[in-house]
A and B are shown apart, each in its own frame.
Chain A
């Protein structure tokens, strides 16, 4: 009986590993460690705030973050006043007002991050024909997730001899290696408020961390709930097993 049971689970898991990701000739990603990995993983708020700074000062020049509102920054450890202050640095279009005119105003906490370009065509036109993708879900929309983003940001190198790059850049981890985005980070691209040295590695780690939060803001609630549910289920199952044994003890 136990053999059948364990065999089944092995089969079930075997099934689950079948959807091999058709990433082609992708280079294996480095094995990064993340604070949000593991059973009890949580986000590192200091890293999230640094990552947000990198997004704000570097990425947001080209990349939108459509699904994130300023109010969501509370997850990063900012209080209401700080969020209002951050929002007020941005202007958003509102309206129409009573005269029927659209107008611009400072953003408030409930506004979403404005896009750097008015539309996708404009974004493509300003970036050599390819619109920079939105970053809200980037950490879930690529094989490898946040590790892929981090590897990509640190994966720029000189193209091997004979490899024509044209206007594009060579990246070790990008599928096909030719990427339209020029290396976005360089030493001290930002100046961290907490004194952390802004190396390319550090900024890549922080902004990938931030993008994972943007893609999966409920991760902490999920793992937290999961631990409680799992404890309940294990107790429930043990009790059911004991009851089952007792009920079947009389059967011959």
Chain B
């Protein structure tokens, strides 16, 4: 059912620029496994969040002033005097969190069902690149309102680079554009915060091209073998994605309209003051697990390496997990350790929100060690020795009929 038309104008365009058939191919006839569960909704939800962030962000940029003396008040002007400015700004604030919620679930889905394994290694790595770019964008965006957490968060995070031997201090000065976080820093963060989302869009396009080359994984982790295993994207997954979007937006609207500051931090409603440090400098919730890893290592450089290593390890995951079986459905041991890994990650998030003192420090160290143990020892060394995977069904179609 490839693209055909009787319309002469469409055919004329089509002969010169095959845009319509490309759209038809990717959004209409593209074959998806017929057994996808709702965890496969989160990719499109993340895409929706990205578009929302860009649209609201461009509108905010029309009203925002990136200057240390005016940034804070320009945000308050948006909240008070710009028509529906409060709505645009709260959407931007809360959708940032919901973007991360969608992406974290999307990543966890990939981990559970082995979506990173051959032939999807590049697809997975492009995803990790998107995740990194998102973190950089979110961090710089949080600096823009120039509240206390903006300023001190920026100070703490940029200072991490001073841990690099020999050139660290110079790099930090270069990042700041001066000798402390100041107006040049705010200006460049604004410029980069505007730029990076479009780079994310570019990588998302690559992510989708790669996806459409290798097609979606599915809960069984076995390949589609023919039309009996698949459904066309339209109408099946368009409608399922729209239903998922509705549920996602209901939850989002709950926060947006009734608890818009719940996921933020009160200190960021205090204008930035370089002379007064907040009692506890805490990043946004979506950074907390990595913040916990950073602080778990007593050495500054070691902490920075551990934090970046926590993401770098995802990059090489396709080669660390040596099992040929993709889905944890057929991996009785890996499945148990997946849930332990997830709980450990949530625990790290909890610890990242606590001050680095008392038992929190020791717990962070243990949880950090476990994080790396999972990827570096458990998956490549221990699981291949002890796990006997269950037998895979011969086809998706057969498995669906049986259930």
Residues of A within 8 A of B (CB): 1, 4-5, 8-9, 11-12, 14-16, 18-22, 24, 39, 67, 72, 133, 136-137, 140-143, 145, 175, 215, 217-218, 221-223, 225-227, 229-230, 233-234, 236-237, 240-241, 243-244, 247-248, 251-252
Contacts and interface: CB of A to CB of B under 8 A. Distances in A.
28 contacts: A4-B39, A8-B105, A15-B285, A16-B97, A18-B346, A18-B350, A20-B350, A20-B354, A24-B279, A24-B280, A67-B73, A137-B269, A145-B266, A217-B80, A218-B79, A218-B80, A222-B90, A222-B260, A229-B253, A230-B254, A233-B250, A237-B249, A237-B250, A240-B242, A240-B246, A241-B246, A244-B239, A244-B242
Contacts of A236: 246
A225 B80 CA distance: 16
Contacts of B269: 137, 140-141, 215
B39 A67 contact: no
A143 B258 CA distance: 17
A4 B34 contact: no
Nearest to B42: A8
A14 B346 contact: yes
B236 A247 contact: yes
A4 B239 contact: no
A226 B256 contact: yes
A15 B104 contact: yes
A22 B101 contact: no
Nearest to A224: B257
Contact of B270 (A9, A19, A141, A227): A141
Nearest to B271: A134
A64 B328 CA distance: 60
Contacts of B141: none
B394 interface: no
B150 to A, nearest CB: 13
B288 interface: yes
B393 to A, nearest CB: 16
B253 A226 contact: yes
Contact of A247 (B38, B239, B284): B239
Given A22-B280, A240-B246, A221 B239 contact: no
A240 B279 contact: no
A237 B39 CA distance: 17
Interface residues of B, number: 57
Contacts of B366: none
A interface SS class: helix
Interface string B263-278: 1011101100000000
Contacts of A133: 270
B353 A22 contact: yes
A16 B346 CA distance: 11
B318 interface: no
B235 interface: yes
A50 to B, nearest CB: 22
A248 B239 CA distance: 10
Interface in B219-255: 231, 235-236, 239-240, 242-243, 245-247, 249-251, 253-255
A240 B400 CA distance: 24
B262 A16 contact: yes
Contacts of B400: 252
Given A16-B101, A240-B242, 6 more contacts: A12-B101, A137-B76, A137-B269, A175-B279, A225-B257, A252-B401
Given A141-B269, A143-B266, A226 B258 contact: yes
B38 A67 contact: no
Given A22-B354, A140-B261, A247-B236, A8 B266 contact: no
B285 A18 contact: yes
A19 B284 contact: yes
B37 interface: yes
Contacts of B354: 20, 22
Contacts of A140: 261, 266, 269
Nearest to B268: A141
Cβ-closest 4 pairs across A and B: A226-B257, A237-B246, A22-B280, A141-B269
Nearest to B228: A252
Contacts of B243: 237, 240-241, 243-244
Contact of B258 (A4, A9, A15, A39): A39
A4 B269 CA distance: 37
B18 interface: no
Given A12-B105, A233-B249, A1 B239 contact: no
A141 to B, nearest CB: 4
B332 interface: no
Given A22-B279, A140-B261, A230-B257, A4 B349 contact: no
Interface in B294-314: none
Given A18-B349, A240-B239, A251-B231, A222 B267 contact: no
A14 B101 CA distance: 11
The residue among A14, A233, A241 with the most chain B CB atoms within 10 A of its own CB is A233
B23 interface: no
